[in-house]
């Protein structure tokens, strides 16, 4: 009966009903849209902020390095050791969430562990050499692009993931190498390794170089070197790669027109070119060729090689081959504290992580590596541990164990010199495997350059093979800290700069650009809030109007009902039901409209955040959020109505009737 009364009132004042419906619908759509947008913005900005992490290390300031002046320390502060005091100062800061010291050295296992891996590769290579172009290219590439740098290391993993998952990156037999080179049809050993110097094309050197007969046709015949490669021997090559065909410079294009296929230049592999080139090469291997070896940090010329400023390919192979089975030994007191483990990019697949309390001969090895070599938790494994550093330019060069004099740039040479001066002989040590670590990113393509290679072995800090009494230089790149909040970078800077400056150090903090984006992120939140607040205000007004029209304005009916003995509850329902039906309809239509209107808002938001942060931020306006705001509206309306009705419900009918006279 209440519903009947209510509906009659609705239907018999159609203009009022319709106008109220329109008003509520419009305001609902705006409110729900803005509300959902606001919530989504908060969430998305929150998750965008989650991408940021500020951390850093301590770097020497110039004054601290008078004695090293020779090596221009201002350009290479990362090679200057830290003092314990500096480290302690950072560790005591209230902004520091955690910090860790790790030391890395090279080690190797004895050959026997590798028979298993070697066999299938050997078979693959010898089975159909000359015909296995496609697959062999992968094998060849995997072999060629050994993990000299982080980028090429990634590529090796990528390539290995296709062909020989987890295989120790760069072993190869010459047959395989040969088979992987389309331009070498297997006859003789006339592998021509072409070389040219891109960076020099505008320099005097380029044109004065006697090897350059014609612009853009700079090549050197390394076949003599290759001739010395003995088939059946295991080689270990370190190169980098880049596509020539896709380089814009015309010289490369000219070069590539000399052959039928684009060339992949093994000297450089940059993320922006290289990876894709390799993908293209892998998809269509016959169409690609491989050219050129190179040294390390600069583009080699034949003159460089002649002058022995750069190691020859042959020597390079020779030296590296000596230590083919290498491990990257990471000595750390707190394995779980390593950034990548904290991020979950790497995790403990079995057993346990090393803990600060660990000491002595325990280790954690890669799960895949263990599987390939038949190791399990509890087994013992022997490593030849040397104190050679594998630090170079602050990054890990896993494969470059015995660094060749004259090959490394000066500053790195300093480091090596300092270590080898101690005259430490490699020692064999047996470690018990207490845990297996694994990489959570199974797609090798997605793995970033900083992923630990599978030959990484984690060892307790005190296992670091440094002779007693000898000073262990603590390199900046081996100490790192993470801030509690990315916005704390400035705070810790002002907290510690004085103290550290006195010690001769400064902070090197990377907040991943948070400081610059912070303002934009705050603005996004604020503008979403303003929009939402404005719409909330509009909603309140609209609800007030609706309540006024359908409740306040119907007080006369209410008074008469009460005077006729209608209970408060039924009288309330007589007024409320219609309004609720009207509001529910309006909210439903409004929500639907909001969904349509804001259908792109999530994507736009995501795009803006992605633009601001450079991260792949996701944001979607979810239906539950929209519904929640719609429901919230109804609740709010009930609240308004209840407030209005409570006041009249308390009054005796006499007062109600008189008030409405």
Partner 1 sequence: MAVISLKNVTYSYKGAAKPAVNSVSCDFEAGTLYAVVGPSGSGKSTLLALLAGLDLPDEGEVLFGGESIAAHDLDLYRREYISMIFQAFRLFPLLTALENVCYPLELVGVKSAEAKRRARELLASVGITEEEMRRFPANLSGGQQQRVAIARALASGAKVILADEPTGNLDVENTQTVIDILASLADEQDYCVIVVTHDAEVADMTDVVYRMKDGVLTRER
Which of 389, 566, 598, 625: binder of partner 1 (CB under 8 A)? 566
Nearer to partner 1, 10 or 225 (CB): 10
Contact 632, 536 (CB under 8 A): no
| CB atoms inside a 10 Å sphere around CB 92 | 11
Report yes or no: 475 and 391 within 8 Å, Cβ to Cβ. Answer: yes
Q: From the list 337, 560, 609, 610, which residue makes contact with partner 1 (rule: CB under 8 A)?
A: 560
Min CB(559)–partner 1 separation in Å: 8
Which residue in 19, 224, 376, 563 binds partner 1 (CB under 8 A)?
563
Structure tokens at 604: 């736009």
Stretch in the footprint of partner 1 (CB under 8 A) among 8-16, 114-122, 306-314, 631-639 = 8-16
Q: Which is nearer to partner 1, 12 or 443 (CB)?
A: 12
Residue 390 to residue 369: CA distance in whole angstroms: 20
* Shortest distance (Å) from residue 582 CB to partner 1: 15
Of residues 639 and 654, the one with the C-beta less far from partner 1: 654
In the numeric block, which tokens belong to residue 576?
Answer: 């409320």
Token pair, residue 246, equals 């896709």
Selected range binding partner 1 among 218-226, 429-437, 471-479, 556-564, rule: CB under 8 A? 556-564
Cα 45 from chain centroid? 18
Interface positions, 568-607, toward partner 1 (CB under 8 A): 568, 570
Please identify which residue in 565, 616, 647, 650 interacts with partner 1, judged by CB under 8 A.
565
Question: Which residue lies nearer to partner 1 by CB, 235 or 550?
Answer: 550
Nearer to partner 1 (CB atom), residue 560 or residue 592: 560
Minimum CB separation of residue 626 from partner 1 in Å reads: 35
Residues 6+ apart with CB under 8 A from 151: 240, 269, 270, 271, 274, 449
How distant, in Å, are the alpha carbons of 70, 458, 532 from that of 376?
A: 49, 15, 58
Closest CA to 489 of 81, 96, 45: 96
365 and 381 in contact (C-beta within 8 Å)? yes
Closer residue to partner 1, CB minimum distance, 446 or 564: 564
3-state secondary structure of 433: strand
Q: How big is the site for partner 1, counted in residues (CB under 8 A)?
A: 23
Classify residue 463 by burial, with Cβ atoms within 10 Å: 0-12, 13-18, 19+. Answer: buried
Residues of the chain by 3-state class (helix, strand, coil), percent to 5: 50, 15, 30
What's phi and psi for 417, nearest 5 deg?
Answer: -55, -50
Binding of residue 653 to partner 1 (CB under 8 A)? yes
State which residue, 603 or 654, has the beta carbon closest to partner 1: 654
Q: Is residue 558 near partner 1 by the rule CB under 8 A? A: no
Which residue stretch of 9-17, 239-247, 436-444, 537-545 sits at the interface with partner 1 (rule: CB under 8 A)? 9-17
CB of 594 to partner 1, least distance (A): 32
Helix (H) or strand (E) holding 518: helix 514-550
Interface residue with partner 1 among 97, 118, 314, 557 (CB under 8 A) is 557
Nearer of residues 16 and 189 to partner 1, judged by Cβ: 16
Window 13-32: residues binding partner 1 (CB under 8 A): 13
171: nearest Cα among 255, 247, 114: 114
Asked whether position 647 contacts partner 1 by CB under 8 A, the answer is no
CA distance 619 to 603: 6
Burial environment of residue 181 by CB neighbours within 10 A (0 to 12, 13 to 18, 19 or more): buried
> Looking at 19, 283, 635, 654, which residue binds partner 1 (CB under 8 A)?
654
Rank residues 440 and 567 by Cβ distance to partner 1 and give the closer one.
567
Footprint of partner 1 (CB under 8 A): 1, 5, 8-9, 12-13, 556-557, 560, 562-568, 570, 652-655, 657, 661
């Amino acid at each position: 009966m209440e519903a009947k009364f209510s509906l009659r009132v609705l239907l018999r004042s159609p203009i009022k009903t319709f106008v109220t419906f329109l008003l509520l619908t419009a305001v609902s759509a705006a409110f729900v849209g803005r509300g959902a947008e606001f919530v989504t913005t908060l969430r998305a900005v929150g998750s965008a902020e989650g991408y940021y992490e500020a951390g850093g290390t301590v770097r020497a300031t110039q004054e601290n390095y008078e004695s090293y002046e020779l090596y221009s320390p201002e350009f290479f502060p990362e090679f200057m050791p830290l003092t314990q005091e500096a480290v302690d100062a950072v560790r005591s800061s209230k902004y520091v969430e955690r910090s860790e010291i790790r030391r890395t050295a090279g080690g190797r296992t004895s050959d026997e562990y590798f028979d298993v891996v070697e066999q299938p590769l050997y078979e693959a290579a010898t089975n159909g050499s000359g015909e296995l172009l496609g697959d062999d290219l992968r094998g060849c590439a995997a072999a060629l692009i050994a993990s000299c740098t982080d980028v090429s290391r990634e590529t090796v993993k990528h390539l290995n993931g296709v062909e020989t998952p987890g295989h120790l990156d760069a072993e190869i037999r010459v047959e395989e190498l040969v088979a992987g080179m389309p331009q070498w049809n297997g006859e003789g050993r006339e592998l021509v390794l072409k070389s040219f110097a891109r960076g020099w094309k505008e320099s005097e050197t380029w044109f004065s170089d006697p090897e350059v007969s014609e612009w853009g046709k700079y090549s050197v015949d390394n076949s003599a070197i290759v001739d010395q490669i003995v088939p059946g021997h295991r080689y270990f090559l370190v190169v980098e790669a880049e596509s020539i065909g896709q380089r814009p410079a015309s010289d490369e294009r000219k070069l590539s027109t000399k052959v039928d296929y684009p060339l992949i230049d093994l000297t450089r592999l940059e993320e922006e070119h290289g990876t894709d080139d390799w993908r293209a090469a892998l998809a269509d291997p016959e169409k690609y060729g491989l050219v050129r070896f190179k040294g390390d940090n600069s583009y080699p010329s034949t003159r460089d090689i002649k002058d022995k400023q750069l190691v020859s390919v042959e020597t390079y192979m020779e030296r590296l081959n000596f230590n083919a089975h290498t491990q990257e030994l990471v000595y750390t007191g707190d394995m779980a504290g390593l950034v990548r483990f904290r991020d979950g990019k790497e995790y403990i697949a079995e057993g346990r992580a090393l803990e600060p309390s660990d000491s002595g001969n325990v280790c954690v090895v890669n799960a895949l590596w263990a599987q390939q070599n038949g190791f399990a938790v509890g087994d013992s494994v022997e490593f030849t541990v040397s104190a050679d550093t594998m630090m170079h330019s602050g990054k890990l060069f896993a494969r470059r164990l015995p660094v060749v004099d004259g090959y490394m740039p000066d500053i790195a040479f300093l480091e090596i010199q300092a270590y080898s001066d101690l005259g430490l002989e490699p020692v064999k040590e047996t470690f018990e495997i207490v845990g297996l670590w694994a990489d959570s990113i199974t797609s090798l393509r997605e793995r970033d350059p900083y992923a630990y290679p599978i030959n990484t072995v984690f060892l307790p800090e005190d296992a670091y093979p440094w002779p007693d009494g000898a000073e262990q230089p603590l390199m900046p790149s081996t100490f790192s800290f993470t801030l509690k909040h990315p916005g704390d970078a400035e705070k810790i800077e002002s907290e510690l700069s004085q103290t550290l400056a006195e010690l001769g150090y400064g902070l090197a903090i990377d907040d991943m650009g948070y400081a610059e984006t912070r303002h934009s992120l705050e603005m996004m939140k604020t503008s979403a809030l303003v929009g939402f607040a404005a719409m909330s205000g509009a909603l309140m007004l609209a609800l007030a109007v609706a309540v006024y029209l359908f409740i306040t304005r119907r007080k006369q009916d209410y008074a008469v009902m009460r005077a006729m003995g209608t209970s408060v509850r039924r009288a309330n329902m007589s007024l409320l039901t219609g309004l609720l039906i009207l509001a529910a309809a309006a909210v439903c239509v409004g929500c639907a409209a909001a969904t349509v209107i804001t259908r792109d808002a999530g994507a736009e938001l995501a795009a803006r955040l992605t633009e601001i942060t450079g991260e792949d931020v996701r944001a979607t306006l979810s239906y539950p959020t929209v519904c929640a705001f719609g429901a919230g509206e109804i609740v709010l309306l009930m609240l308004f109505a209840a407030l209005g009705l409570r006041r009249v419900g308390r009054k005796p009918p006499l007062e109600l009737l008189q008030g409405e006279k």
